[in-house]
Amino acid sequence: MAPDPTLRPDGRPRVVVTGVGAMTPAGPTAAATLEAVTAARPAAVPITTWDTEGHPVRFAAEITDFDPAPLVDARDARRIDRVSLLGIVAAEEALTQAGLAGAGADLADLDRSRVAVVIGSGVGGILTLEDQIEVRVTKGVKRVGPMLIPMMMANATAGLVALRHGFHGSAISVATACASATDSIGQAGDLIRSGRADVVVAGGAEASITPTAMAAFARMGALSGRNDDPAAASRPFDADRDGFVMGEGAGIVVLESAAHATRRGATVLGELAGYGSTCDAHHITAPDPDGAGAIASMQAALADAGLPPAAISHINAHGTSTPLNDAAESSAMVKVFGTDGPPVTSTKGVTGHLVGATGAVEAIIGLLAARAGLVPPVANLTTPDVDPGVDLVIGEARSIAIGPVLSNSFGFGGHNASLVLVPLDA
Protein backbone atom coordinates (compact mmCIF):
# COMPACT_ATOMS: atom_id res chain seq x y z
CA MET A 1 0.00 0.00 0.00
CA ALA A 2 1.30 3.43 -0.97
CA PRO A 3 2.06 5.74 1.97
CA ASP A 4 -0.54 8.40 2.79
CA PRO A 5 0.89 11.71 1.48
CA THR A 6 -0.95 13.64 4.19
CA LEU A 7 0.98 11.89 6.97
CA ARG A 8 4.55 12.13 8.16
CA PRO A 9 6.69 8.99 8.32
CA ASP A 10 5.91 8.83 12.06
CA GLY A 11 2.19 8.66 11.25
CA ARG A 12 1.32 12.13 12.52
CA PRO A 13 -0.33 14.73 10.24
CA ARG A 14 1.83 16.78 7.92
CA VAL A 15 1.47 20.50 8.60
CA VAL A 16 1.18 22.78 5.58
CA VAL A 17 1.10 26.55 5.07
CA THR A 18 -1.91 27.83 3.12
CA GLY A 19 -1.73 31.56 3.81
CA VAL A 20 0.75 34.24 4.87
CA GLY A 21 0.30 37.86 5.92
CA ALA A 22 2.62 40.61 7.05
CA MET A 23 2.42 44.24 8.09
CA THR A 24 5.96 45.60 8.46
CA PRO A 25 8.01 48.79 8.12
CA ALA A 26 9.14 47.42 4.75
CA GLY A 27 5.63 46.98 3.34
CA PRO A 28 1.93 46.49 4.12
CA THR A 29 1.79 42.91 2.81
CA ALA A 30 3.95 39.82 2.73
CA ALA A 31 4.72 40.32 -0.95
CA ALA A 32 5.65 43.99 -0.47
CA THR A 33 7.90 43.10 2.44
CA LEU A 34 9.66 40.42 0.38
CA GLU A 35 10.18 42.91 -2.44
CA ALA A 36 11.78 45.48 -0.12
CA VAL A 37 13.98 42.86 1.54
CA THR A 38 15.07 41.50 -1.84
CA ALA A 39 15.93 45.02 -2.95
CA ALA A 40 17.85 45.60 0.33
CA ARG A 41 15.86 48.79 0.98
CA PRO A 42 16.20 49.73 4.68
CA ALA A 43 13.07 50.99 6.43
CA ALA A 44 14.62 52.82 9.40
CA VAL A 45 13.64 56.50 9.69
CA PRO A 46 13.58 59.23 12.36
CA ILE A 47 10.77 58.57 14.84
CA THR A 48 7.67 60.63 14.06
CA THR A 49 5.08 59.42 16.58
CA TRP A 50 6.55 61.11 19.69
CA ASP A 51 9.04 63.81 20.65
CA THR A 52 12.52 62.26 20.76
CA GLU A 53 14.30 65.28 22.25
CA GLY A 54 16.80 64.15 24.84
CA HIS A 55 16.66 60.50 23.78
CA PRO A 56 19.98 58.83 22.88
CA VAL A 57 18.33 56.95 19.97
CA ARG A 58 15.89 58.95 17.86
CA PHE A 59 15.09 56.60 14.99
CA ALA A 60 13.40 53.26 14.40
CA ALA A 61 11.76 51.15 11.71
CA GLU A 62 8.25 52.57 12.05
CA ILE A 63 5.17 51.73 10.01
CA THR A 64 4.50 55.33 9.11
CA ASP A 65 1.24 55.03 7.15
CA PHE A 66 -0.61 52.29 9.01
CA ASP A 67 -4.40 52.60 8.83
CA PRO A 68 -6.58 49.74 10.10
CA ALA A 69 -9.77 51.52 8.98
CA PRO A 70 -10.68 49.09 6.20
CA LEU A 71 -10.95 46.33 8.83
CA VAL A 72 -11.55 48.10 12.15
CA ASP A 73 -13.73 51.20 12.51
CA ALA A 74 -12.37 54.25 14.32
CA ARG A 75 -14.38 53.69 17.52
CA ASP A 76 -13.21 50.10 17.93
CA ALA A 77 -9.63 51.01 16.97
CA ARG A 78 -9.44 53.37 19.95
CA ARG A 79 -10.12 50.38 22.21
CA ILE A 80 -7.41 48.16 20.70
CA ASP A 81 -3.67 48.63 21.17
CA ARG A 82 -1.55 49.14 18.06
CA VAL A 83 0.09 45.73 18.53
CA SER A 84 -3.27 43.98 18.13
CA LEU A 85 -4.32 46.16 15.19
CA LEU A 86 -1.14 45.13 13.38
CA GLY A 87 -1.86 41.48 14.14
CA ILE A 88 -5.49 41.73 12.99
CA VAL A 89 -4.44 43.18 9.64
CA ALA A 90 -1.72 40.58 9.04
CA ALA A 91 -4.09 37.77 10.02
CA GLU A 92 -6.71 39.05 7.57
CA GLU A 93 -4.21 38.86 4.71
CA ALA A 94 -3.13 35.34 5.67
CA LEU A 95 -6.70 34.05 6.12
CA THR A 96 -7.85 35.64 2.88
CA GLN A 97 -5.02 34.00 0.96
CA ALA A 98 -5.93 30.70 2.59
CA GLY A 99 -9.56 31.12 1.49
CA LEU A 100 -10.79 31.34 5.08
CA ALA A 101 -11.77 35.03 5.08
CA GLY A 102 -12.74 37.75 2.64
CA ALA A 103 -14.91 37.73 -0.44
CA GLY A 104 -15.52 34.29 -1.89
CA ALA A 105 -14.50 32.37 1.24
CA ASP A 106 -16.55 29.18 1.61
CA LEU A 107 -16.74 28.46 5.34
CA ALA A 108 -19.85 26.29 5.38
CA ASP A 109 -17.92 23.12 6.20
CA LEU A 110 -15.33 24.72 8.48
CA ASP A 111 -15.45 23.33 12.01
CA ARG A 112 -14.57 26.47 13.95
CA SER A 113 -14.03 24.46 17.13
CA ARG A 114 -11.06 22.90 15.34
CA VAL A 115 -9.47 26.26 14.39
CA ALA A 116 -6.94 27.57 16.90
CA VAL A 117 -4.99 30.82 17.21
CA VAL A 118 -1.42 31.08 18.54
CA ILE A 119 -0.03 34.62 18.30
CA GLY A 120 2.98 35.66 20.34
CA SER A 121 4.32 38.99 21.54
CA GLY A 122 7.38 39.98 23.47
CA VAL A 123 5.74 42.77 25.50
CA GLY A 124 2.11 43.09 24.37
CA GLY A 125 0.32 46.45 24.61
CA ILE A 126 3.17 48.50 25.99
CA LEU A 127 2.04 51.63 24.11
CA THR A 128 -1.27 51.66 25.99
CA LEU A 129 0.42 50.87 29.29
CA GLU A 130 2.90 53.70 28.89
CA ASP A 131 0.19 56.17 27.89
CA GLN A 132 -2.02 55.24 30.84
CA ILE A 133 0.79 55.50 33.37
CA GLU A 134 1.26 59.08 32.20
CA VAL A 135 -2.49 59.68 32.53
CA ARG A 136 -2.44 58.40 36.12
CA VAL A 137 0.58 60.51 37.05
CA THR A 138 -0.65 63.73 35.44
CA LYS A 139 -4.44 63.48 35.81
CA GLY A 140 -5.06 61.05 38.66
CA VAL A 141 -6.24 57.48 39.13
CA LYS A 142 -9.84 58.22 38.20
CA ARG A 143 -8.78 59.11 34.67
CA VAL A 144 -7.11 55.76 33.95
CA GLY A 145 -8.98 54.13 31.07
CA PRO A 146 -11.20 51.12 31.79
CA MET A 147 -9.82 49.37 28.69
CA LEU A 148 -6.21 49.46 29.89
CA ILE A 149 -6.06 45.80 30.90
CA PRO A 150 -7.66 44.26 27.77
CA MET A 151 -5.55 46.56 25.60
CA MET A 152 -2.19 45.83 27.27
CA MET A 153 -2.48 42.10 27.92
CA ALA A 154 -0.16 40.01 25.76
CA ASN A 155 -2.93 37.59 24.77
CA ALA A 156 -5.17 40.33 23.36
CA THR A 157 -4.11 39.82 19.74
CA ALA A 158 -4.83 36.09 19.78
CA GLY A 159 -8.16 36.72 21.47
CA LEU A 160 -9.20 39.47 19.08
CA VAL A 161 -8.32 37.42 15.97
CA ALA A 162 -10.33 34.50 17.34
CA LEU A 163 -13.22 36.85 18.19
CA ARG A 164 -13.20 38.50 14.78
CA HIS A 165 -13.40 35.19 12.92
CA GLY A 166 -15.36 33.10 15.39
CA PHE A 167 -12.61 30.52 15.94
CA HIS A 168 -13.35 28.40 19.03
CA GLY A 169 -10.22 26.28 19.31
CA SER A 170 -7.35 27.18 21.62
CA ALA A 171 -6.37 30.87 21.63
CA ILE A 172 -2.86 31.12 23.05
CA SER A 173 -0.15 33.77 23.34
CA VAL A 174 3.50 32.71 23.50
CA ALA A 175 6.04 35.06 25.09
CA THR A 176 9.66 34.04 24.54
CA ALA A 177 11.01 37.52 23.77
CA CYS A 178 12.42 37.70 20.24
CA ALA A 179 11.66 34.01 19.67
CA SER A 180 7.94 34.47 20.42
CA ALA A 181 6.62 34.27 16.86
CA THR A 182 8.85 31.36 15.90
CA ASP A 183 7.80 29.43 18.99
CA SER A 184 4.17 30.32 18.22
CA ILE A 185 4.42 28.78 14.76
CA GLY A 186 6.21 25.73 16.14
CA GLN A 187 3.66 25.25 18.90
CA ALA A 188 0.85 25.72 16.37
CA GLY A 189 2.32 22.94 14.27
CA ASP A 190 2.37 20.72 17.35
CA LEU A 191 -1.35 21.40 17.92
CA ILE A 192 -2.07 20.03 14.46
CA ARG A 193 0.32 17.09 14.72
CA SER A 194 -1.23 16.06 18.04
CA GLY A 195 -4.71 16.08 16.48
CA ARG A 196 -6.02 18.93 18.62
CA ALA A 197 -6.62 21.30 15.70
CA ASP A 198 -7.16 21.17 11.95
CA VAL A 199 -6.20 24.81 11.30
CA VAL A 200 -4.09 27.24 13.33
CA VAL A 201 -3.59 30.97 12.75
CA ALA A 202 -0.08 31.55 14.08
CA GLY A 203 2.65 34.16 14.29
CA GLY A 204 3.52 37.28 16.23
CA ALA A 205 2.90 41.01 16.62
CA GLU A 206 4.83 43.80 18.29
CA ALA A 207 4.56 47.59 18.63
CA SER A 208 7.15 48.69 21.17
CA ILE A 209 8.56 51.88 19.65
CA THR A 210 7.68 53.89 22.78
CA PRO A 211 9.71 56.47 24.73
CA THR A 212 10.32 54.21 27.73
CA ALA A 213 11.03 51.06 25.72
CA MET A 214 13.46 52.91 23.48
CA ALA A 215 15.18 54.52 26.45
CA ALA A 216 15.50 51.14 28.18
CA PHE A 217 16.95 49.33 25.19
CA ALA A 218 19.34 52.23 24.59
CA ARG A 219 20.47 52.14 28.23
CA MET A 220 21.24 48.44 27.79
CA GLY A 221 23.48 49.30 24.86
CA ALA A 222 21.37 47.12 22.57
CA LEU A 223 20.37 49.79 20.02
CA SER A 224 22.41 51.31 17.22
CA GLY A 225 23.21 54.96 17.86
CA ARG A 226 23.43 56.07 14.23
CA ASN A 227 20.99 58.99 14.55
CA ASP A 228 22.64 60.73 11.62
CA ASP A 229 22.14 57.78 9.24
CA PRO A 230 19.20 55.56 10.28
CA ALA A 231 19.04 53.71 6.97
CA ALA A 232 22.57 52.39 7.47
CA ALA A 233 22.16 51.55 11.16
CA SER A 234 21.04 47.92 11.02
CA ARG A 235 24.11 46.00 9.83
CA PRO A 236 23.77 42.26 10.52
CA PHE A 237 27.09 40.41 10.55
CA ASP A 238 29.01 43.57 9.58
CA ALA A 239 32.22 44.53 11.36
CA ASP A 240 30.84 48.06 11.84
CA ARG A 241 27.60 46.98 13.57
CA ASP A 242 26.76 48.72 16.84
CA GLY A 243 23.33 47.40 17.81
CA PHE A 244 19.89 46.65 16.43
CA VAL A 245 17.20 48.99 15.12
CA MET A 246 13.84 48.77 16.88
CA GLY A 247 10.99 47.87 14.55
CA GLU A 248 7.29 47.06 14.74
CA GLY A 249 4.93 44.87 12.79
CA ALA A 250 3.19 41.53 12.55
CA GLY A 251 3.57 38.28 10.66
CA ILE A 252 0.89 35.59 10.50
CA VAL A 253 0.71 32.19 8.80
CA VAL A 254 -2.23 29.85 8.37
CA LEU A 255 -1.25 26.27 9.12
CA GLU A 256 -3.42 23.24 8.34
CA SER A 257 -3.16 19.51 8.44
CA ALA A 258 -2.39 18.35 4.93
CA ALA A 259 -5.56 16.24 4.97
CA HIS A 260 -7.72 19.25 5.86
CA ALA A 261 -6.12 21.42 3.19
CA THR A 262 -6.60 18.67 0.60
CA ARG A 263 -10.27 18.17 1.49
CA ARG A 264 -11.09 21.81 0.90
CA GLY A 265 -8.86 22.22 -2.14
CA ALA A 266 -6.58 24.83 -0.59
CA THR A 267 -3.46 26.08 -2.35
CA VAL A 268 -0.43 24.90 -0.39
CA LEU A 269 2.58 27.22 -0.17
CA GLY A 270 4.85 24.96 1.82
CA GLU A 271 5.22 22.56 4.70
CA LEU A 272 6.23 23.27 8.27
CA ALA A 273 8.54 20.28 8.45
CA GLY A 274 10.65 20.93 11.53
CA TYR A 275 10.69 22.85 14.82
CA GLY A 276 13.35 23.08 17.50
CA SER A 277 13.25 25.04 20.76
CA THR A 278 15.89 25.25 23.50
CA CYS A 279 17.15 27.52 26.27
CA ASP A 280 20.75 28.61 26.82
CA ALA A 281 20.29 28.85 30.62
CA HIS A 282 23.36 31.10 30.42
CA HIS A 283 22.40 34.77 30.97
CA ILE A 284 19.17 36.76 31.01
CA THR A 285 20.17 38.86 27.98
CA ALA A 286 23.48 37.65 26.51
CA PRO A 287 23.57 34.52 24.33
CA ASP A 288 25.80 31.58 25.16
CA PRO A 289 29.05 32.64 23.42
CA ASP A 290 29.61 29.08 22.24
CA GLY A 291 26.14 29.01 20.71
CA ALA A 292 25.28 25.71 22.40
CA GLY A 293 21.56 26.46 22.65
CA ALA A 294 21.38 27.77 19.09
CA ILE A 295 23.19 24.67 17.84
CA ALA A 296 20.76 22.39 19.67
CA SER A 297 17.77 24.34 18.36
CA MET A 298 18.88 24.06 14.73
CA GLN A 299 19.76 20.39 15.13
CA ALA A 300 16.37 19.69 16.72
CA ALA A 301 14.54 21.39 13.84
CA LEU A 302 16.52 19.39 11.29
CA ALA A 303 15.88 16.13 13.16
CA ASP A 304 12.17 16.92 13.41
CA ALA A 305 12.11 17.51 9.65
CA GLY A 306 14.06 14.33 8.99
CA LEU A 307 16.59 16.28 6.95
CA PRO A 308 20.40 16.41 6.99
CA PRO A 309 22.08 19.84 7.12
CA ALA A 310 23.04 19.50 3.45
CA ALA A 311 19.35 19.56 2.46
CA ILE A 312 18.87 23.18 3.58
CA SER A 313 18.88 25.59 0.63
CA HIS A 314 19.42 28.73 2.69
CA ILE A 315 19.26 30.13 6.23
CA ASN A 316 17.31 33.18 7.33
CA ALA A 317 19.46 34.00 10.34
CA HIS A 318 18.35 35.86 13.44
CA GLY A 319 21.16 38.31 12.63
CA THR A 320 20.26 41.20 14.93
CA SER A 321 23.25 43.47 14.17
CA THR A 322 24.45 43.19 17.78
CA PRO A 323 28.02 42.00 18.32
CA LEU A 324 27.22 39.20 20.77
CA ASN A 325 24.28 37.69 18.87
CA ASP A 326 25.92 37.78 15.47
CA ALA A 327 29.12 36.21 16.76
CA ALA A 328 27.33 33.41 18.61
CA GLU A 329 25.01 32.64 15.69
CA SER A 330 27.90 32.68 13.21
CA SER A 331 29.79 30.15 15.28
CA ALA A 332 26.69 28.00 15.75
CA MET A 333 25.92 27.85 12.03
CA VAL A 334 29.42 26.61 11.25
CA LYS A 335 29.16 23.93 13.92
CA VAL A 336 25.86 22.69 12.46
CA PHE A 337 26.51 23.13 8.73
CA GLY A 338 30.29 23.05 8.47
CA THR A 339 32.45 25.42 6.46
CA ASP A 340 30.59 24.69 3.23
CA GLY A 341 27.11 25.53 4.47
CA PRO A 342 24.14 27.07 2.67
CA PRO A 343 23.85 30.78 1.84
CA VAL A 344 22.82 32.97 4.78
CA THR A 345 20.76 36.15 4.96
CA SER A 346 19.23 38.35 7.64
CA THR A 347 16.20 40.51 6.89
CA LYS A 348 16.79 42.86 9.83
CA GLY A 349 19.01 45.12 7.74
CA VAL A 350 15.75 46.16 6.05
CA THR A 351 12.96 45.65 8.61
CA GLY A 352 14.81 46.35 11.82
CA HIS A 353 14.15 44.05 14.76
CA LEU A 354 10.42 43.37 15.19
CA VAL A 355 11.01 41.69 18.57
CA GLY A 356 8.11 39.28 19.20
CA ALA A 357 6.94 39.47 15.58
CA THR A 358 10.31 39.05 13.93
CA GLY A 359 10.37 35.25 13.70
CA ALA A 360 7.06 35.04 11.83
CA VAL A 361 8.00 37.75 9.36
CA GLU A 362 11.35 36.09 8.72
CA ALA A 363 9.79 32.64 8.33
CA ILE A 364 7.38 34.11 5.78
CA ILE A 365 10.19 35.86 3.89
CA GLY A 366 12.25 32.67 4.02
CA LEU A 367 9.42 30.54 2.61
CA LEU A 368 8.45 33.01 -0.12
CA ALA A 369 12.10 33.52 -1.11
CA ALA A 370 12.66 29.76 -1.22
CA ARG A 371 9.59 29.35 -3.45
CA ALA A 372 11.08 31.97 -5.77
CA GLY A 373 14.48 30.26 -5.78
CA LEU A 374 16.39 33.21 -4.34
CA VAL A 375 18.11 34.42 -1.19
CA PRO A 376 17.75 38.13 -0.36
CA PRO A 377 20.98 40.00 0.40
CA VAL A 378 21.90 41.29 3.85
CA ALA A 379 21.30 45.04 3.68
CA ASN A 380 24.14 47.36 4.76
CA LEU A 381 26.67 44.52 4.81
CA THR A 382 30.01 45.79 3.52
CA THR A 383 32.62 44.15 5.77
CA PRO A 384 31.59 40.65 6.83
CA ASP A 385 32.52 39.67 10.37
CA VAL A 386 31.69 35.97 10.68
CA ASP A 387 33.37 32.63 11.21
CA PRO A 388 35.10 31.28 8.10
CA GLY A 389 32.65 29.26 6.05
CA VAL A 390 29.51 31.34 6.70
CA ASP A 391 28.29 32.18 3.18
CA LEU A 392 26.64 35.57 3.57
CA VAL A 393 24.64 36.91 0.61
CA ILE A 394 25.98 40.38 -0.15
CA GLY A 395 25.00 43.09 -2.61
CA GLU A 396 22.12 41.50 -4.50
CA ALA A 397 19.80 38.53 -4.28
CA ARG A 398 21.29 35.16 -5.18
CA SER A 399 19.53 32.54 -7.28
CA ILE A 400 19.40 29.07 -5.73
CA ALA A 401 17.70 25.75 -6.31
CA ILE A 402 14.29 25.59 -4.66
CA GLY A 403 14.59 23.74 -1.37
CA PRO A 404 14.01 23.81 2.41
CA VAL A 405 14.82 26.95 4.40
CA LEU A 406 15.89 27.19 8.04
CA SER A 407 14.70 30.25 9.99
CA ASN A 408 16.28 31.13 13.36
CA SER A 409 15.10 33.29 16.27
CA PHE A 410 16.92 33.87 19.56
CA GLY A 411 15.59 35.93 22.46
CA PHE A 412 16.40 37.46 25.84
CA GLY A 413 16.09 34.82 28.51
CA GLY A 414 18.17 32.45 26.41
CA HIS A 415 15.28 31.34 24.22
CA ASN A 416 16.22 29.71 20.90
CA ALA A 417 13.77 28.57 18.23
CA SER A 418 14.27 27.28 14.69
CA LEU A 419 11.88 26.29 11.92
CA VAL A 420 12.39 24.23 8.77
CA LEU A 421 9.98 25.18 5.99
CA VAL A 422 9.77 23.30 2.70
CA PRO A 423 8.34 25.17 -0.33
CA LEU A 424 5.68 23.23 -2.23
CA ASP A 425 3.95 23.78 -5.57
CA ALA A 426 6.26 26.69 -6.36
**Per-residue pLDDT tens digits for 56-113:** 999 999 999 899 998 999 999 999 999 999 999 999 999 999 999 998 888 989 999 9
Domain end among 209, 229, 263:
263
In a domain, 268, yes or no: no
Write the pLDDT tens digit of every residue in 101-150: 998 888 989 999 999 999 999 999 999 999 999 999 999 999 999 999 99
Closest CA relative to residue 232, chosen from 387, 391, 41: 41
pLDDT recorded at residue 425: 67
- Determine whether 282 is an active site residue: no
Q: Which of 178, 260, 314, 415 is catalytic?
A: 178
Same domain, 196 and 296: no
What interhelical angle do 126-139 and 211-220 show, nearest 10?
110
List beta partners, residue 416: 278, 410
pLDDT recorded at residue 290: 84
Same domain, 298 and 406: yes
Q: Which of 165, 314, 318, 415 is catalytic?
A: 318
Per cent of the chain over pLDDT 70 is: 99
Same domain, 181 and 330: no
Write the pLDDT tens digit of every residue in 221-259: 999 999 999 999 999 999 999 999 999 999 999 999 999
Write the pLDDT tens digit of every residue in 158-209: 999 999 999 999 999 999 999 999 999 999 999 999 999 999 999 999 999 9
The pairing of strands 171-172 and 115-120 is parallel
- Determine whether 178 is an active site residue: yes
In a domain, 288, yes or no: yes
In a domain, 257, yes or no: yes
Same domain, 302 and 177: no
Domain count, the chain: 2
In a domain, 8, yes or no: no
Domain end among 237, 263, 289:
263
Same domain, 162 and 30: yes
Cα 28 from Cα 71, distance rounded (Å)? 14
Cα 369 from Cα 422, distance rounded (Å)? 11
pLDDT of 426 over the 60 cut: no
Domain end among 218, 244, 263:
263
Same domain, 150 and 241: yes
Write the pLDDT tens digit of every residue in 322-361: 999 999 999 999 999 999 999 999 999 999 999 999 999 9
Closest CA relative to residue 174, chosen from 46, 360, 312, 328: 360
Q: Which of 260, 314, 353, 415 is catalytic?
A: 353
Same domain, 31 and 134: yes
Which domain, by its residues, includes 334? 274-423
**CATH number of the domain that residue 306 is part of:** 3.40.47.10
The pairing of strands 343-345 and 15-23 is unpaired
pLDDT recorded at residue 2: 76
Contact of 259 with 26, CB cutoff 8 Å: no
Same domain, 46 and 115: yes
Cα 228 from Cα 216, distance rounded (Å)? 20
In a domain, 55, yes or no: yes
Same domain, 61 and 85: yes
In a domain, 5, yes or no: no
- Determine whether 318 is an active site residue: yes
Same domain, 240 and 295: no
Write the pLDDT tens digit of every residue in 407-416: 999 999 999 9
